[in-house]
Chains A and B, each alone.
Chain A
Amino acid sequence: MATTVQPPQADEILLPGHGNGSGGGFRGLTPQGGTRAVLDQAGEPTRTGIWVGLSAIAMMFAALTSALFVREGAATDWQHIILPPILWFNTLALVASSVALEIARRRVAAFMRGQEHSRSAAAFWLNATMFLGLVFVVGQYFAWLRLRSQGLYLPTNPNSSFFYVFTGVHVLHVLGGLGGLSRAMLRFRSFAHPLRKSTMDATSYYWHFMGLLWLYLLIVLWVKL
């Protein structure tokens, strides 16, 4: 039985950023003989990887949220807690850090395109992001201290349990983001391993997602706990 043979169509495989069969497998090889140069377009693995990773994180928090709803539905021991006011300040810090990182990302891109000759402006905003991120983490620690001072520990009641779990897991992810940010900052200064645009983009997507995730968690905690 013969089946139709379709040779690769020029527009199908030569368009940069097509991402499907466009030559990503030739990483590290100099394109020769009609093979096009591999461009860092939409199909770059780092960017894809970060979206896939964020999907998994979103799914994990969806599972935790559904656990909260089911647990509340079955509960006779649901006792509302007053959220520590410092959470609002922490929220502000995290939102501000996202703004700082977005400015930093654009400055880095401008520097990489040669539109900006100094690294210092971009570095300043990267440092500001790092500082604000650390402020958020320390602020969350103070929120836990505040709860402890009220006698609300992890096992005290379901509300406190969920508060510590939600905020704790989120802070772990934020720390991961700070790790990624540190790596991006080091690469930005490095000549041996220069920062790639896709790495910077991926770092910023992750960080913005942490901010959005926190806003979502804050609403859930505020409404349900």
Chain B
Amino acid sequence: MSEAQVHVAHHGPPTSFIRKHVFSLDHKVIGKQYYGLALVAVFTGMVLSWLMRIHLVWPNAPIPGLQFLSKVGAPGGVMTPEYYLSLMTMHGTLMVFFVLTNAPFAAFGNYFLPIQIGAEDMAFPRFNMMSFWTTFVAFLILIAAFFVGDGPPISGWTAYAPLSAVGGDSGPGQALGQTLWGLSIFVFCIASLLGSLNFIATTLDLRTKGMTLARMPIVSWAWFITSCIALLAFAVLLPACLLLILDRVAGTSFFIPAGLNVSDHLQPHQGGSPLLWQHLFWFFGHPEVYIAILPAIGIVSHILICNMRKPMLSHKVIIYCMMGIGFLSYMVWGHHMFLSGMNPFSALVFSFPTLMITIPATIMTLIWLGSLYGSNLRINSASLFCVGFISMFVSGGVSGFFLAQPSIDIYLHATYFVVGHFHMVMGVAAIMGVFAGTYFWYPKMTGRMMSETLGKWHFYLTLIGTYAIFMPFHYLGLAGNVRRYSAFTDDFLVPLIPVHKFITFAALFTGAVQLIFIFNLFYSRFKGAVAPPNPWECTSLEWSTPSSPPPFDNFGGQHLVVYHDPYQYGVKSSTGDYLMQTSPERAGETP
């Protein structure tokens, strides 16, 4: 018996409830756990954004019940400016780490990467389980910040030093709350490193017979490239968090300069560099943008190909573009620091590769649009969200051209223009990808179909709502509306308050629309129509499993052999206009 055969029998089907549903080694269960955690995080983050939006336009109005969350932060339900910043910090942290990293990458990747390459499980199932539960612990640590001391930190999801490093003098939430934030992200980094390691080893080593790299679906490529990016990015944030925590609890001076006076209190530190934190953070932070968006790009490409019933103009170019974006993502972190006082020459050095990134992004967009042109696109919830993704990716990405140039960014950087930019191109676009993936793979994950009618309503209302929220952000930014202010009374921004009111109503509306999705998600699980084995007539291996959801070993003991790339659409075959990857049949000419 070969070694690898010895290696395999590392876990069998679970028998107890705990091993089956809680501490499971099955990648499919772990994928669903990630999805569930992301769902809790996204709704928590969304409620926080509602609270912020309400406070922005009615700063003196009490919000019923808020005083129970924090008596100090919201006495009588009226939010203090500091508590606004606390909620902003938690909103950003939850969304970036626990939603945008978890849902498109960890959740769907865990569930479908092994199946799409024909493997029974991830390469290291125990690491996989540890990865999720470590993420869960990180989530609990972060949420605990709501309930300790002065509440959550006020330093934003970027936790800029030195105020994030000096402790309680720098404001409410900056004592224990900020330490918990640092610890949470530290733990999250460990989880992400374990997860990335697993994705890479699985992709490289567990592909089934005939599944060459060139035959992997685009979305599997996206997860693979993302895991490579994440491996290097989180390996930098991890020691950065360690140094931050040491500054806070051990009295070191990595990020705290000498002679710093905060709240009339001279800080007992010397010689640290606040810019050092920015360098380390953004070296992680910019690749993090692509950790969020590349899986969504892969999901959208995968679903579009299936619904267009024809191959993309070039699959390889999309994969090369994703690689190019991943590579360039490590060269551009300084464009987040144009206002840090850096040498103007350095700013130009960072500006150039930033503009370069727009080239692969534009090529991908043109491939999507060129492929869609003239195609007979099947209109369903999944394909609609794919189109929505492209729309949001373009609309949000265009403003990136402006921000990449230091001379313009200096004016716009601290305004709502930037907020609108990253929410559209990174946040909403990635979430559109997650919605598309959910509608597309739900039949495989549950054996039931989601309601298409509800799905389409969900799409149209979400598309309108998100544009109504984030497009005006750009106008606000151009008008000089600064970020992070908790209210705009008695200053030059008063004329902009009606725009803010419109955005707040749009945010409440769009949030409420998501209840349609939640209803559809849970109702269809029990009452949805029973899903056929391959409802979308798709070619990739997840649709070759013997059942939906797939059995414990994914293929019920079958030995899959792959004969084609997954783009065999618009062909003449015994199955119709497509050929499964596992079909040895040769495709005929286009009917």
- A: residues with CB less than 8 A from B are 1-3, 5-8, 12-13, 19-29, 31-33, 35-40, 43-46, 48-49, 52-53, 55-57, 59-60, 63-64, 66-67, 70-71, 73-78, 154-155, 157-158, 161, 165, 169, 194, 196-198
B532 within 8 A of A: no
- Assembly CA distance A29 to B559 (angstroms): 8
Chain A positions within 8 Å of B254 at CB level:
67, 71, 158, 161
- Assembly CA distance A70 to B124 (angstroms): 37
Contact digits for B225-257, partner A, Cβ 8 Å, 1 yes 0 no: 000000110111011101100100011111000
| Interface residues of A, dominant DSSP | loop
30 contacts between A and B (CB under 8 A): A1-B570, A1-B571, A2-B587, A3-B568, A5-B568, A5-B586, A5-B587, A19-B204, A20-B212, A21-B207, A21-B210, A22-B207, A27-B206, A35-B209, A40-B7, A44-B4, A45-B124, A48-B201, A49-B123, A49-B124, A56-B196, A56-B234, A56-B235, A70-B279, A71-B271, A74-B275, A76-B270, A154-B246, A154-B252, A161-B253
Q: Among B114, B236, B271, which residue has its beta carbon within 8 angstroms of that of A75?
A: B271
Chain B positions within 8 Å of A33 at CB level:
559
> How many whole Å from B428's CB to the nearest CB in chain A?
31
- Assembly CA distance A67 to B198 (angstroms): 28
User: Who on chain A is nearest to B568 by CB?
Assistant: A3
Chain A positions within 8 Å of B570 at CB level:
1-2
Contact digits for B513-527, partner A, Cβ 8 Å, 1 yes 0 no: 000000000000000
Q: Among B197, B213, B310, which residue has its beta carbon within 8 angstroms of that of A1?
A: B310
Contact digits for B248-281, partner A, Cβ 8 Å, 1 yes 0 no: 0011111000100000000000111101100110
> How many whole Å from A59's CB to the nearest CB in chain B?
4
Chain B interface residue count, CB cutoff 8 Å, equals 82
- Assembly CA distance A107 to B213 (angstroms): 36
Q: Among B232, B239, B561, B590, which residue has its beta carbon within 8 angstroms of that of A64?
A: B239
Chain A positions within 8 Å of B117 at CB level:
25
B200 within 8 A of A: yes
Q: Among A25, A46, A74, A158, which residue has its beta carbon within 8 angstroms of that of B120?
A: A25
> How many whole Å from A32's CB to the nearest CB in chain B?
7
Chain A positions within 8 Å of B579 at CB level:
5
Q: Is the CB of A21 within 8 A of B211?
A: yes
> How many whole Å from A6's CB to the nearest CB in chain B?
7
- Given known A33-B559, A45-B206, contact A67–B201 (CB-CB < 8 A): no
- Assembly CA distance A39 to B201 (angstroms): 16
Q: Among B207, B235, B271, which residue has its beta carbon within 8 angstroms of that of A24?
A: B207
- Assembly CA distance A118 to B280 (angstroms): 52
Most buried by B among A36, A40, A56: A56
Q: Among B213, B236, B276, B589, which residue has its beta carbon within 8 angstroms of that of A59?
A: B236
- Given known A8-B563, A74-B275, contact A22–B7 (CB-CB < 8 A): no
Chain B positions within 8 Å of A60 at CB level:
235-236, 238-239
User: Who on chain B is nearest to A70 by CB?
Assistant: B276
B5 within 8 A of A: yes
> How many whole Å from A206's CB to the nearest CB in chain B?
13
> How many whole Å from A37's CB to the nearest CB in chain B?
6
Q: Among A27, A70, A76, which residue has its beta carbon within 8 angstroms of that of B4?
A: A27
Q: Is the CB of B124 within 8 A of A38?
A: no
- Given known A2-B589, A21-B209, A26-B209, contact A197–B243 (CB-CB < 8 A): no
Chain B positions within 8 Å of A161 at CB level:
246, 252-254
- Given known A63-B283, A197-B3, contact A26–B239 (CB-CB < 8 A): no
Q: Is the CB of B246 within 8 A of A20?
A: no
B443 within 8 A of A: no
Q: Among B8, B283, B562, which residue has its beta carbon within 8 angstroms of that of A27?
A: B8
- Return the 6 tightest CB-CB contacts between A and B, nearest first: A40-B3, A27-B8, A28-B8, A155-B251, A25-B208, A45-B123
- Assembly CA distance A199 to B272 (angstroms): 43
Q: Is the CB of B559 within 8 A of A35?
A: yes
User: Who on chain B is nearest to A56 by CB?
Assistant: B235
User: Who on chain A is nearest to B11 by CB?
Assistant: A28
- Assembly CA distance A35 to B280 (angstroms): 48
Most buried by A among B276, B587, B590: B276
B119 within 8 A of A: yes
Chain B positions within 8 Å of A43 at CB level:
204-205
Chain B positions within 8 Å of A26 at CB level:
120, 208-209, 559
- Given known A8-B210, A70-B273, A70-B276, contact A48–B204 (CB-CB < 8 A): yes
Q: Is the CB of B563 within 8 A of A7?
A: yes
Q: Is the CB of B207 within 8 A of A7?
A: no
B337 within 8 A of A: no
> How many whole Å from B35's CB to the nearest CB in chain A?
23
- Given known A1-B310, A3-B587, contact A28–B5 (CB-CB < 8 A): yes
- Given known A1-B310, A21-B208, contact A27–B7 (CB-CB < 8 A): yes
Q: Among B212, B236, B242, which residue has its beta carbon within 8 angstroms of that of A165?
A: B242
User: Who on chain A is nearest to B309 by CB?
Assistant: A1
- Given known A33-B559, A154-B252, contact A21–B272 (CB-CB < 8 A): no
Q: Is the CB of B119 within 8 A of A71?
A: no
Q: Is the CB of B201 within 8 A of A25?
A: no
User: Who on chain B is nearest to A59 by CB?
Assistant: B235
User: Who on chain A is nearest to B586 by CB?
Assistant: A5
- Given known A21-B207, A63-B283, A161-B254, contact A169–B239 (CB-CB < 8 A): yes
B202 within 8 A of A: yes
Q: Is the CB of B2 within 8 A of A67?
A: no
B567 within 8 A of A: yes
Q: Is the CB of A38 within 8 A of B5?
A: yes
11 more contacts with CB within 8 A, not counting A1-B590, A8-B563, A21-B213, are A1-B570, A8-B562, A19-B205, A20-B212, A21-B562, A45-B202, A48-B200, A48-B201, A52-B196, A67-B276, A67-B280
Q: Is the CB of B590 within 8 A of A52?
A: no
B298 within 8 A of A: no
- Assembly CA distance A23 to B206 (angstroms): 7
B546 within 8 A of A: no
- Assembly CA distance A212 to B362 (angstroms): 43
User: Who on chain A is nearest to B274 by CB?
Assistant: A74
B564 within 8 A of A: yes
